A and B are shown apart, each in its own frame.
Chain A
Amino acid sequence: MNDIASNKATVNRLQHVLPATLVLLLAITVTWLSYTREPSDAFLFPRLISSVMVFLAMWNFLRAFLGLAKVGDGLSAQTVVRIAPGVIVMLVLVYFAAKALGFYVASFLAFLCVFSLYDPASHTAISSWVKRLLITAAFMAVIYALFTLLLKVQTPRGLYF
């Protein structure tokens, strides 16, 4: 039932101002780069786009600053807490483990971690862990058949596989 509460979390002004500022900063950086880099011929189109982008980003920032921006659900603290472990697993395993341990090992671990972290079933019973491992292994087998056997994709091997 907590979910409904988090869904209704209205977006406060800060939640709009922060991304609007970031987008504005990005737009300014892109524009600055477009007008300063060489060869200028190659940056003709980027200049055009970035100028429009800066204008829109300023407009967007003003709307956010004045509290006129209304669309979007925003992020509640609770949602952040809920998604954090999963996102960290994704980043750590992909960025650091994929090349070191191998793509398959990293994917296997990513699947298992995300599944286990969010699985409502018992985390102390052996049977539920066996079930999790079996499901993960079965899924990775399907992936192996599809990508490696059928499509002959060569994944980074790293230490293991």
Chain B
Amino acid sequence: MEFLQYFGGVFEPTSFLLLLGGTMGGLILGATPGLSPTMAVALLIPFTFQLEATQGLILLGAAYTSTVAGGAVSAILLKIPGAPANIATALDGHEMARQGRGTEALHVSFLASGVGGIIGVLLLIFLTPVLARWALAFGPSHLFWMAILGVTIIGSLDSRSFVKGLLSGCLGLWLSMIGYDDIQGAQRFIFHDSLTGGVNIITALIGIFAIPQVIEMLAKGRVKHKIVAVSVAKQSLLSSLKLLSKNVKALSIGTVTGSVIGLIPGVGGQIAGLLAYDQTRKFSKDRDTFGKGNPAGVIAAESANNAMVGPSLVPLLTLSIPGSPTAAVLLGGLLIHGIFPGSDLFDNYPEVAWTFINSMLIGQVLMVIFGIWVASYAARVSQIPPPIMAAAVLVLALFGSYSVQQSMGDVYIMLALGLSMFLLEKVGFSAAPLVLGLILGPIAEANFIQGSMIANAMDGPAQYFLMGPLNIVLIALVLSSIAWSFFSSRREAEKNALLSDTVAKGGGAINDPFHDDTGAQS
């Protein structure tokens, strides 16, 4: 309960102002396409030079929590996930916004973020010493199996076609290998100069999600504003809370998945959202409504990616090992004040450490309040007429992809991927598995190569990759995940065979009660 003593520090005028500013600024930065939490926190580092250690960390902590949640805003409203963590949010969240339920989507997204985030920070407060050992237990072989576990959900992530889902995933894995290989430094698949640096994940996200959406809007042709404008459904906070309470299962799956994945250094929050989304869908009674505006999808994804924030700092604060790029930047924020995290951080600098953690706790609450306040205004974005919206998303995509690394090559890659994705989607391929492949490729490859090198110096690859309790548990999970996808795809196929006459068109939002409205409007 030591942390309670230091709550006072958070509410000192300067600190609290910084916390407020950090949270609001973080939400805006997080909602900016192309700006991942890592970059947002790195941008703030110079500001902390002028501040005291605790104040600087309050600013960084607040920015970290709120940028992760802010990414949901652009994911829901524009279908541009601000960071890999928000991909799963876009799947159902944007569909909700298109149906005029943007306020609702933003409400549950912020509420779920808050719940997940607070539980994550509480884990950090109470279980740090226990969790630190767990974080270290993951060596290259285990990370390799973790990545493979992620690959196995590729097939089930796309319910429309098993083959095309897997093929999309393979395309993603292949895209991730373009450019210089990270370990050997060999050049692979560089067809064009822009590809030397490989396909940056943020750039790819913008292209794959935003560009097809721009083209979809153009495909509507010249339509009168009045008919197109989607009415924004009024949504009281109370009914959003009710909606959240109806989805406790999604919330718990998200929070647990996020906390566990967040702990593992090197995997990080990138896949937490997608894994939680997939689990929630597998355990849901009405799986067909996912991807068509089911709030449970948003809740699972957002609770997962904020739950990961607290635990992801465990290895940093206790062992000085940054488990994620963002944690590495936060480490910089500590170092410039001469604070070296480590097992004795909480003994030597209790005030700094606890104030930082407490500020993240308060920051979560502020983030929810501020997020809900802007939700009803922000949701009006869906009322913007399609031509302006298409133009705006296009220009945002251009600037977003350019600013990731200030490179024109990235802009070309973004456009090329976007146009290809639009065409592929038209014949049943899907974006989510492709992105998952793109994220998991490097994790799987680097750990496989590194593990093999270590194994060759030790007892050989079989021993290294297949033995040991953690390896066996992970392999069991991989096998059961494959079995699940296989059987559920067979069940799906049988169901489809029965319906095939009526569902020749496939994929569309046929079962969706809201679809009729939008259909009539266009």
Are A56's CB and B427's CB within 8 A? no
Q: Are B186 and A39 in contact (CB under 8 A)?
A: yes
B507 close to A3 (CB less than 8 A): no
Q: CA separation between A150 and B371, bound complex, in Å?
A: 21
Check: B231 CB closer than 8 A to any chain A CB: no
Docked Cα-Cα span, A26 to B415, in Å, equals 19
CA distance A52 to B399 in the complex (A): 36
Taking the complex as formed, is B73 at the interface, i.e. its CB lies under 8 A from any CB of chain A?
no
| SS of B interface (majority) | helix
A126 at the interface (CB under 8 A from B): no
B160 touches A60 (CB 8 A): no
Bitwise, A2-16 to B at CB < 8 A (1) or not (0) is: 111011101100011
Q: Is the CB of A19 within 8 A of B387?
A: no
CB distance from B46 to the nearest CB of A (A): 11
Cβ of A146 within 8 Å of any chain B Cβ, yes or no, is yes
Q: Does B504 belong to the interface (CB within 8 Å)?
A: yes
Q: Is B395 an interface residue (CB 8 A)?
A: yes
Which residues from B are CB-within-8-Å of A59?
163
Q: Quick one: which of A70-104 are within 8 Å of B by CB? A: 70-75, 79, 82-83, 86-87, 90-91, 94-95, 98-99, 103
Name the distance in Å between B305's Cβ and chain A's nearest Cβ: 23
Bitwise interface map of B from 299 to 340 toward A, beta carbon under 8 Å scored 1, else 0: 000000000000000000000000000000000000000000
Interface residues of B in 392-406 (CB under 8 A from A): 392, 394-396, 398-399, 402-403, 406
Q: Render A97-117 as a binary contact track against B, CB cut-off 8 A, 1 for contact.
A: 011000100010011101101
**A133 located at the interface, meaning its Cβ lies under 8 Å from any Cβ of chain B in the complex:** no
- Once bound together, how far apart are the Cα atoms of A41 and B445, in whole Å? 12
Does A71 contact B163, Cβ atoms closer than 8 Å? no
Query: In the complex, are the beta carbons of B164 and A60 less than 8 A apart?
Result: yes
Contact of A90 with B399 in the complex, beta carbons under 8 Å: no
Pair B167/A79 contact, Cβ less than 8 Å: no
Whether A83 contacts B387 by the Cβ 8 Å rule is no
Confirm or deny: B123 has a beta carbon within 8 angstroms of a beta carbon on chain A: no
B362 CB within 8 Å of chain A = no
- A99–B161 contact, CB under 8 A? no
Contact A46 B177 (CB under 8 A): yes
B506 near A70 (CB under 8 angstroms)? yes
Question: Does B43 interact with chain A (Cβ within 8 Å)?
Answer: yes
Interface residue from A38, A110, A120 paired with B398 (Cβ < 8 Å): A110
How far apart are A14's CB and chain B's nearest CB, in angstroms? Answer: 11
CB distance B506 to A71 under 8 Å?
yes
Chain B residues, Cβ within 8 Å of A43: 186, 188
Taking a contact as CB atoms under 8 Å apart, the answer to whether B408 and A99 are in contact is yes
Query: A143 and B394: CB pair below 8 A?
Result: no
Q: How many residues of B contact A (CB 8 A)?
A: 72
How would residues 119 to 161 of chain A score, 1 for a CB under 8 Å from any chain B CB and 0 otherwise?
A: 1100000000000000110011001001100010111100000
Task: Tell me if B448 is interfacial: C-beta within 8 Å of chain A.
Answer: yes
CB contacts (< 8 Å) of A28 on chain B: these are: none
Please state if B427 and A19 are interface contacts (CB–CB under 8 Å): yes
Contact with B along A49-72 (1 / 0, CB 8 A): 110110011011001000001111
Interface-lining segment among B49-57, B215-223, B233-241, B245-253:
B215-223
- Judge whether B391 and A72 touch: CB under 8 Å: no
- A151 B425 Cβ-Cβ under 8 A: no
Contact B391 A71 (CB under 8 A): no
Q: Are A115 and B387 in contact (CB under 8 A)?
A: yes
Q: How far is the CB of A53 from chain B (nearest CB, A)?
A: 4
A53 to B411, CA, bound (A): 27
The total of Cβ contacts below 8 Å across the A-B interface reads 198
Contact of B184 among A19, A41, A136, A154 (CB under 8 A): A41
Inter-chain contact A94/B415, CB cutoff 8 Å: yes
User: How far is B35's CA from A147's CA once the two chains are assembled, in angstroms?
Assistant: 10
Q: Which residues of B contact A155 (CB under 8 A)?
A: 399, 402
Most buried by B among A20, A70, A71: A71
Task: State which residues 417-433 of B face A: CB under 8 Å.
Answer: 419, 423-429
Choose one: B217, B224, B406, B522; the contact of A3 (CB below 8 Å): B522
With contacts A3-B220, A49-B177, A103-B402 known, is A72 near B215, CB below 8 A?
no
A103-B391 Cα distance, complex, nearest whole Å: 15
Taking the closest CB of chain A, its distance from the CB of B212, in whole angstroms, is: 11
Contact B164 A71 (CB under 8 A): yes
Q: Which residues of A have CB within 8 Å of B503?
A: 70
Known: A15-B427, A119-B222, A147-B403. A135 touches B388 (CB 8 A): yes
Partner of B219, one of A82, A110, A120: A82
CB pair A42 B387 closer than 8 Å: no
Q: Which residues of B contact A114 (CB under 8 A)?
A: 218, 387, 390-391, 394
Min C-beta distance of B515 to chain A, whole Å: 11
Q: What residues on A are CB-neighbors of B32 within 8 Å?
A: 146, 151
A45 to B177, Cβ gap below 8 A? yes
> Nearest CB to that of B189 among chain A residues?
A33
Q: Which of B160, B221, B223, B424 contacts A19 (CB 8 A)?
A: B424
Closest to A89 in B: B394
A-B contact pairs, 9 of them (CB 8 A): A20-B427, A71-B164, A71-B427, A72-B426, A73-B505, A83-B215, A95-B412, A114-B391, A154-B406
Which A residues have a C-beta under 8 Å from some C-beta of B?
A: 2-4, 6-8, 10-11, 15-16, 19-20, 23, 27, 30, 33, 37-39, 41-46, 49-50, 52-53, 56-57, 59-60, 63, 69-75, 79, 82-83, 86-87, 90-91, 94-95, 98-99, 103, 107, 110-112, 114-115, 117-120, 135-136, 139-140, 143, 146-147, 151, 153-156
- Extra contacts, 8 of them, besides A45-B448, A79-B219 (Cβ < 8 A), are A42-B181, A42-B183, A53-B171, A57-B167, A69-B161, A115-B387, A118-B221, A135-B388
List residues of B whose CB falls within 8 A of some A CB. 32, 35, 43, 160-161, 163-164, 166-167, 170-171, 173-174, 177, 181, 183-184, 186, 188-189, 214-215, 217-225, 385-388, 390-392, 394-396, 398-399, 402-403, 406, 408, 411-412, 415, 419, 423-429, 441, 444-445, 448-449, 500, 503-508, 519, 522
